[in-house]
Structures are given as C-alpha cells and as structure tokens.
Amino acid sequence: MHVFLRENVRLISMEENQELEQAKKERRLVIPGDHLGDEQAGHGTYVVEGKVYSKYIGLAEVRNGKHIVIPLAGVYSPKRGDGVIGKITDIIFQKWIVDINSPYEAVLPLSDAVEGFVDLTKEDLTRYFDYGDIIFAEISNVNRQKQVQLSMRSPKCRKLWGGRLIKVTPAKVPRIIGRQGSMVEMIKKLTGTQIVVGQNGIVWVRGDNEDLAAETVLTVERLSHKGGLTDYIKETLEKKVAELKPVKDEEKVEEAEENLEESGEEEL
C-alpha cells in the first residue's frame, strides 16, 4: 500500500513536470526585432506593416490571442491595471505627481484619490498625501505619450505607513508573488509581517521581522531562476524564524513605541 502511494505521488509530479516543460516550450526566447507573427500585438511588441515584432530581450508567448513579450530585465514600463507602489514627489493644483520607479512619472488626480467634494480654496492637499508619502495605487490609464494616470478607487489602494521599501527587478515580481500569491503569502505567514508587492519592483514590508522578510524577498529575487524555490525558501525561513524567537520581545517594545508615534500621525 505504502509503495503504491509513493509511486502515485511520483506519477503526479511527473505529469506536473510535463506541463511545466510544455509551458516552457510555448515560451520562446526572442531579441528586439524578432518577428512574432501577423496577429494582434500586445505588451512588449511593436507593429510595422501589419507584422508584429518584439521590443525586448525576453520570452514571447501568445496570451488571449495576443502576442506578448515578457522582458528578462530592465526598468518598469507602466501598464494599465498594474498595482504599483509610488512616492509623492510634487503637488500641482488638483493633482499629485508620483514617482513610480519608472522613466515616466505618474499623475494622481484629486478626483481619483479622494471621495466626495474637496474645496481647494480652503483645504490643503497635503492633508491627504504629503511630499514623500508612500502609496499603493492602480494605473488607470497609460496613453501613447506614456503619460501615466493613477487611481485610488480600488479597495486595496491605500497610503502605506511606516515599514520599509525594498527594490527588486520588475521582471522578477511574478516570482516574488508566486503562483496565486503562494510565495508572498508564505513569507507573510512565517515572518508575521505585512507585505505589499508593486508590479513596478517595489516591495513594502512592515512588522516585527521586517529585516528577515526583506532578506527573504531579496533571496527570492537572487534565486528566481531555480525550480522548487517556494519549498526551499520555506525550509530556510522556518529555521531562521526559530532562531529569531528569543530576541523578539525586545524588538516588540521598540516597534510598539514606533507604532504609537505613527498612530498619532494618522489622527492628524
């Protein structure tokens, strides 16, 4: 019985393996200027005389009948619908200018950020978002001139208080999130921290074990090309968390004091 079970398990993993192999075959390594086909053009491609070419060095695939290229490295190129973490750099009339870790800066209009009526003659916009504030927002539109518009309408969009930011390569973000969020959920659970991942390669971490979580995120980025990464990270992280336990109390007091200060700010 036991032997039978084990064989069964192996069979499943082999099937999974085949699926993975299949997925890899469908993705093709391309360089800028490679001809992809004559169908619809998606992200990371350009069209000349009805033919679709690749814009980046990356993996080409067909998704929903569209040719897309996922770049292997490089800076973040804004895309509609992406959730990004940004920093407020300027306030102009009724909008905020946000640095989204990209060559193009983003604009957050007042109407997309705050509910209800705001009397600009009486109110100061720094009341909502001040210079240097970190926000999580969604990209609502990117036009041809690469002017990026943000929106805070989605329920997950908010201001991020305290914590620390980590920079990673934007191309590695899917790996940090993992399949259906498996990787980031696991790190959150084991370290007991809050983590928000922006598609633009900025990760926000807050909690008692901030440093450990940050270290883990950077390890995932460094080893992103390896298979079975979630299990490996889980194993090493469990060990480290067990080592950390004794010192935790001291840190907690410090953190609690910081939290008190922060909540004070929030009320203002």
Q: Give the binding site for other proteins (CB under 8 A).
A: 86-87, 99-101, 164-167, 202, 211, 214-215, 218-219
Q: Which is nearer to other proteins, 60 or 106 (CB)?
A: 106
Helix (H) or strand (E) run with residue 5 in it: helix 2-26
Considering beta carbons, is residue 52 or 160 the nearer one to other proteins? Answer: 160
Angle at 166 between CA 43 and CA 193, to 5 degrees: 110
Least distance from other proteins to the Cβ atom of residue 103, Å: 8
CB nearer to other proteins: give 59 or 168. Answer: 168
Give 247's DSSP letter.
Answer: G
Instruction: Work out how close the CB of 259 gets to other proteins at its nearest, in angstroms, rounded to a whole number.
Output: 15
Other beta carbons within 10 angstroms of residue 162's beta carbon come to: 16
Residue number, 185 or 251, with CB nearest to other proteins? 251
Query: Tokens 């973490």 correspond to what residue?
Result: 85
Q: Is residue 60 within 8 Å of residue 28, measured between CB atoms? A: yes
User: In whole angstroms, how close is the CB of 164 to other proteins at the nearest point?
Assistant: 5
Tell the smallest beta-carbon distance from residue 167 to other proteins (Å). Answer: 7
Count how many Cα atoms sit within 13 Å of the Cα of residue 258 in the half-sphere of its side chain.
11
Complex with other proteins: residue 68 or 88, whichever CB lies closer: 88
* Distance in Å, CB of 261 to other proteins, minimum: 13
Residue type, 252: K
Per-residue burial over 209-222, b = 16 or more CB atoms within 10 Å of its CB, e = otherwise = bbebbbebbeebbe
DSSP state of 78: -
Nearest distance, CB of residue 87 and other proteins, angstroms = 5
Please identify, using beta-carbon distances, which residue of 42 and 170 lies nearer to other proteins: 170
Provide the strand spans (E) within 5-75: 28-30, 35-37, 40-41, 45-48, 51-54, 58-63, 66-71
Q: 61 vs 215, which CB is nearer to other proteins?
A: 215
Structure tokens at 69: 């290229």
Nearest to 102 by CA among 123, 85, 90: 85
Minimum separation from the CB atom of position 145 to other proteins (A): 18
What residues does 241 pair with on adjacent strands?
A: none
Q: Are 200 and 243 within 8 A, CB to CB?
A: no
